[in-house]
A and B are shown apart, each in its own frame.
Chain A
Amino acid sequence: MHTIAFPKLADYDVPARYLLNHITNYKIIKPEINLNTIEIGSKHSPDFVCTPFKYTLGTLINGLKKGADTLIQFGGGCRYGAYAALQEEILKKLGYKFEMYNLITAGKTDIKRIKKIFKTIDPNIKIYKSLRYLIIAFSMVKYMDKIDNYIRENIGFEIDKGSFIRLKKKMLNDFYNCKGLFHLRRLYTKYKKRFRKIKVDKPKDYLKVGIIGELYTLMEDSANYNIEYELAKYKISIKRFTNVTYLLLKKRRLVKKYLRKMKNIKYKLGADALDNVYHTKYLCKKKYDGIVHIKSSFCTPEIGAMPLINDIAKKNNVPVIFFSFDTNTSKVGVETRIEAFVDMLKMKKGRL
């Protein structure tokens, strides 16, 4: 009997745990990020590595402490792709005994390779039987992202504070216990209706802000000090493009379109940098009031994208603000800058 641990990314541990629970009978550890995780993670990480490395390493160490012996990590299109290998080495040096598997390497999802990995993790996995649960997990991700988009647009205007978050918690709990694809779809329609019933006080001419940047910092709210909610609090509707649905299903197709449409960019710029430049253009065109760009410190692809984003936003007269998060960024500093940014947007509309 083995125990599996994997890093945390927003609420996506719900479908991941759902899938693993149904295809193996191994124990699954629910990943958590708290101050303790961050502290351990940064203690054992190289100093100038980007924050996702520190956060994921901390979560994995906590998983190992709880008795995990099988670790699953995910790669990415930037140096995140090399994280699994480096983290494995660091953890082995710390004296832990485990097997580590990297599901996505060099930004590519190779189904055959993943199938092989799952077979090695647990030889009892029935591939055709698990296909069903894989489809359910994917649908769950898709439904979660759709609901999240709606929450993001409306949470700032809620009348009863906390009603969106409470309902979302309930929904995730129900999703986790769903019995099949049809049941999941029924749950989704039910919760969609309930979310739309939550009373919001949306004025006619509300502020709209687009939020772009590096994927981990964007999605994991403990890595960005819950910046989305901090912004939404000032009665702002938020638009975010990056989520798992986008990264896994849409990105590959859209990148070609981006390259075709943006004549002055000839290369992909690495990771999500090209996407962010294109999205800046999109947000300017759709007359958004402001753009927030966030990344973890030392994120190289985004550093390359920032001058381009700045240039496009300046030309279109859309205010843009850049945030760089490290493990020890002070929350007060973030709040001050956001408040000033919102004041600036309001002043521009003549409302301060």
Chain B
Amino acid sequence: MKECYLGVDIGSISTKGVVIDNDNNIIAKDYIWTEGNPVNSVKKLIKSLKSQINGDYILKGIGTTGSARKLIGLMLDANIVKNEITAHAIGTISLHPDVRTILEIGGQDSKIIIINNGIIVDYAMNTLCAAGTGAFLSSQAKRIGVDINDFGALALESDNPVKIAARCTVFAESDLIHKAQSGYDLKDIVAGLCRSVVLNYLNNVGKGKKIKGPIIFQGGVSKNKGVVKYFKEVLNEDIIVDDNGHLMGALGVAIISKKYKTDKVYNFNMSNIEFITKGLECNGCSNNCEILKIFKNSKLIDTWGNRCPKGATI
């Protein structure tokens, strides 16, 4: 009987899961859309992971990360709930021990992690603005009528990217419209957009950070070849894009859960758990806290969002 560990990364756009064995080898993996319903997508994910595992394994640990980590951690009774920054770093270091910089651009947020000798020494996350994230690219792709999957290939065709003001998403958008209306070629505009994402990212998230190679580029936007090209050009360094780049968070949190394993044994039969959340507003005082009550198999297991004990009991 060999031991295995499950890591789940529930992002805003997609849900990723891996199962690893004791030597950190990935024995099952999957990647599905979250579609605004983390509970259902995790159920689907675990079903698919279960079908991939062949051999005699017992599940000894579960870790969750990503923006829905707390909720899913509660649902799966995870032994570790970790933030995505640490999870991504640990997952990446396990595969590329010599990495110095991790660039990550996801759907809603983007981050940079600086690593020295296998430990995180600095990181940053976008704070106020969505400039330089995947959401910006996909909304602009829709505006100019290009499928987001062809975006990167189209950008590579251009050798004269238009300059788009990269400071802010809103200004970049009006600049883009202006360029399109004055008759620039579509491929040049697409290339300009990819370049502006790179500049945005480096100006916002990467400000004041010393970016040294080897550099690994992750997150959904790393699949866009145009953005990769302009990162190479602007940073003047080689950029590594791992095929498993999107799984790094899940892998990292699985590794952490292995580290913090207990005697508890889990199983993969979670698809029949009834898990309901109910939102309401507490009118106990003028704070009007938004309260979320969480039921597992129709038993109340937790209440979130209350600022005082009053909200826990309503």
Residues of A near any B CB (own CB < 8 A): 34-36, 297, 307, 310, 319, 324, 326, 332-333, 336-337, 339-340, 343-344, 347-348, 352
Tell which of B2-10, B31-39, B42-50, B281-289 binds the partner: B281-289
Q: Which B residues, 270 to 314, have Cβ-Cβ distances below 8 Å to chain A?
A: 285-288
Interchain Cβ contacts within 8 Å, total number: 50
In the complex, how many angstroms separate the beta carbon of A161 from the nearest chain B beta carbon?
12
Is the pair B287, A319 in contact by a Cβ cutoff of 8 Å?
A: no
Which A residues lie within 8 Å of B86 (CB)? Answer: 339-340, 343-344, 352
In the complex, how many angstroms separate the beta carbon of A316 from the nearest chain B beta carbon?
13
A33: nearest residue on chain B (CB-CB)?
Answer: B287
Q: How many residues of B contact A (CB 8 A)?
A: 19
Which A residues lie within 8 Å of B104 (CB)? Answer: none
Residues of B near any A CB (own CB < 8 A): 67, 82-86, 119-123, 125, 127-128, 208, 285-288
Task: Tell me the complex Cα distance, A35–B119, Å.
Answer: 40
A335: nearest residue on chain B (CB-CB)?
Answer: B83
CB contact between A340 and one of B67, B123, B285, B287 (< 8 Å): that residue: B123
Task: Tell me the complex Cα distance, A324–B128, Å.
Answer: 9
Which A residues lie within 8 Å of B125 (CB)? Answer: 333, 336-337
CB contact between B285 and one of A34, A339, A343, A344 (< 8 Å): that residue: A34
Which B residues lie within 8 Å of A326 (CB)? Answer: 128
Which B residues lie within 8 Å of A319 (CB)? Answer: 121-122
B256: nearest residue on chain A (CB-CB)?
Answer: A352
* Interchain residue pairs A-B with the least CB separation, the first 9: A340-B85, A343-B86, A339-B83, A347-B119, A344-B120, A34-B287, A336-B83, A36-B286, A340-B83
Is the pair B208, A343 in contact by a Cβ cutoff of 8 Å?
A: no
Which A residues lie within 8 Å of B285 (CB)? Answer: 34
Is the pair B208, A307 in contact by a Cβ cutoff of 8 Å?
A: yes
Which B residues lie within 8 Å of A333 (CB)? Answer: 125, 127
12 more A-B contacts (CB under 8 A) besides A307-B208, A339-B83, A344-B120?
A: A34-B285, A34-B287, A35-B288, A319-B121, A319-B122, A324-B128, A336-B84, A340-B85, A340-B120, A343-B82, A343-B83, A352-B86
Which A residues lie within 8 Å of B83 (CB)? Answer: 336, 339-340, 343
